[in-house]
Chains A and B, each alone.
Chain A
């Protein structure tokens, strides 16, 4: 349904061109969840914004983006806008910044329904209240009349999800949807997303830094490092047997996945400056497994059953 092929995104900055995403490929089938996982600056959010068509015009996009057989990069800005918020919808980390503070929750959901379903105002508002109920907002009619600042973080995220779902999207991009929320509210939102996915068959692209969320919610995982794909795998395979040294380091560094009380993996050094990335494998300067081959960019080495790692050394015993 969604195919990302050799995607690259370059920003012009005062210091020169910065390639935030470089040669990223993956695909997403209907009803599936793919997680893009990695740390700050790895390019996961830029990738999702490129798919949504929300990058600034100055960003140069290379490679291919195909959604339901349509070449997204060939669409006019108008066609793109029509798609975004319709069959393609997105939920962000901080709903406060994506909700309009001057309109009530109900009006914002209704607006989405008016634009995409051509409903008249009273019908749209009535449907909006149904949508708020559907995302489990208690007392939906009362909440619909409230402004974003009157709602809790969890409630605002539910409004965002209601807006996204109002248009019956085929693909929902969720960029750190629960990162700003408390753990019990996070569980509610994730369970809601899983339920909606089951009912509507929408595919989800889940952008997150949280390996725990990935383990529970993704079908397939794309691990990104410094703008590139380090490893892709079905979720069970990744957690049972991470192959890229960065994925190994990341998992060994996460208290939830490391041995309790033991030493956490400490990846030496810092993420490379994307203005001047190292030649070859971008993880090489920090990698304890590398050898002389790493001076050249490794191709994605297939490891069987949909598992692949961009590493000369993989598979590691």
Chain B
């Protein structure tokens, strides 16, 4: 019996860096010892800023990149040691959606061919059955049947993302990883794609990993949140708890920086994330942390806790954090009026 859809244990990946003459000059420590579990039907968001390693982690989780160290288990099956051939077959269970569907869709393939490809790869369906399934998938993601014979460039960003979603769910996967799946879309289109993703997660009981820098989107969809900084998880827990009472100083800084909380931040956290080639000693956040003590520059804190985990020497001793200020200022009237748009959708 498998409890988790996806389990990562101690995943590490460093990219060697060379100087202009090709001599090794250290390594980008992109992901440096990450463990995570995702249950069926659960939405886990991995958040953090550019260069924190969240996208690399997503690729490692599906072995689109090979980890240097650590284990990947999908539906209880050890993926780390699978042969390339076995891995290709196993991929029917775990699929990925990228930020830019244009880059992930072959421009010379019709929409039907793009969606049919995973069916050829992963199912024994006949040609006629596949055509039927493609039609069902198109309808499921809200695209018209005549879409099938057209090419990706003929579509808008939102429609292309729907095509990528249809392709990702074609093999009936149990796990989908979305790497910034709505970041390139305008707000109104983003809403349509988010509604679709949330419906699919519910209907298919998908384990969904949302890799995102957009905390508004994360607040809306995620049940659990993991915050990454320089290749490590600094805090992980139920989304509601993290937003109400962020424990790690970096999570606090990140949440406080989200616009729309009704005021201009007088003293936002200063500096930028240091280079992952030479991450700070001890706690990697200590160079920017307003609470850091001597110990933080020496000892690397472990990620500790039960449901809500924090990697901070001062966890529990810090002053209470300001909760994330929700911005739904339009209140009941806005919800009621906005609901008129749902009827249009149906």
Contact = CB atoms under 8 A, between A and B. Distances in A.
Interface stretch (B33-41, B66-74, B121-129, B182-190): B182-190
A188 B268 contact: yes
Contacts of A257: 260, 327-330, 334
Nearest to A152: B272
Given A257-B329, A288-B343, A216 B191 contact: no
Contacts of B272: 152, 154-155, 182, 184-185
B77 interface: no
Interface in B287-346: 326-330, 333-335, 337-345
B212 to A, nearest CB: 11
A252 B338 contact: yes
B50 interface: yes
B265 interface: yes
A209 B195 contact: no
A184 B334 contact: no
A260 B213 CA distance: 17
A132 to B, nearest CB: 15
**Top 6 closest pairs, chain A to chain B, by CB:** A252-B338, A212-B260, A253-B191, A212-B259, A255-B220, A187-B257
Contact of B259 (A186, A259, A267): A186
A241 B330 contact: yes
B281 interface: no
A268 B335 CA distance: 17
B104 interface: no
22 contacts: A183-B258, A184-B253, A187-B256, A190-B259, A191-B264, A212-B260, A240-B330, A241-B333, A248-B338, A252-B335, A252-B341, A255-B217, A255-B220, A260-B219, A263-B342, A264-B194, A265-B188, A265-B341, A266-B345, A268-B344, A270-B156, A286-B344
Contacts of A255: 191, 194, 214, 216-217, 219-221
A268 B195 CA distance: 13
A256 B327 contact: yes
Contacts of B213: 182-183
A182 B50 contact: yes
B187 A239 contact: no
Given A209-B186, A215-B260, A252-B341, 6 more contacts: A184-B268, A185-B49, A210-B259, A255-B191, A256-B327, A265-B339
Nearest to B344: A268
Q: Which of A191, A258, A316 has the most CB of B within 10 A?
A: A258
Contacts of B277: none
Contacts of B49: 182-185
Interface string B257-283: 111111111111111110000000000
Interface string A130-156: 000000101000000000000010110
Given A187-B256, A212-B260, A240-B330, A262 B186 contact: no
Nearest to A193: B264
A288 B341 contact: yes
Given A39-B186, A254-B187, A191 B259 contact: no
Interface size on B, as a range, is 35 or more
B338 A251 contact: yes
Contact of A215 (B214, B217, B259, B333): B259
Nearest to B327: A256
Nearest to B159: A270
B245 interface: no
B308 to A, nearest CB: 19
Contact of A316 (B253, B260, B337): B337
A217 B265 CA distance: 10
A211 interface: yes
A240 B337 CA distance: 13
A40 to B, nearest CB: 5
A307 to B, nearest CB: 14
Nearest to B331: A240
Contact of B344 (A185, A212, A259, A266): A266
Interface string A203-232: 000000111110111000000000000000
B195 A263 contact: yes
A279 interface: no
B254 interface: yes
Nearest to B250: A184
Nearest to A155: B272
A39 B259 CA distance: 18
A288 B259 contact: no
Interface string B201-243: 0000000000001111101110000000000000000000000
Contacts of A155: 272
Contacts of B215: 183
B184 to A, nearest CB: 10
A194 interface: yes
B83 to A, nearest CB: 39
Contacts of A217: 259, 264
A248 B327 contact: no
A289 interface: yes
Nearest to B220: A255
Contacts of A266: 188, 191-192, 195, 341-342, 344-345
B136 to A, nearest CB: 21
Given A194-B264, A257-B334, A215 B327 contact: yes
A216 B335 contact: no
A250 interface: yes
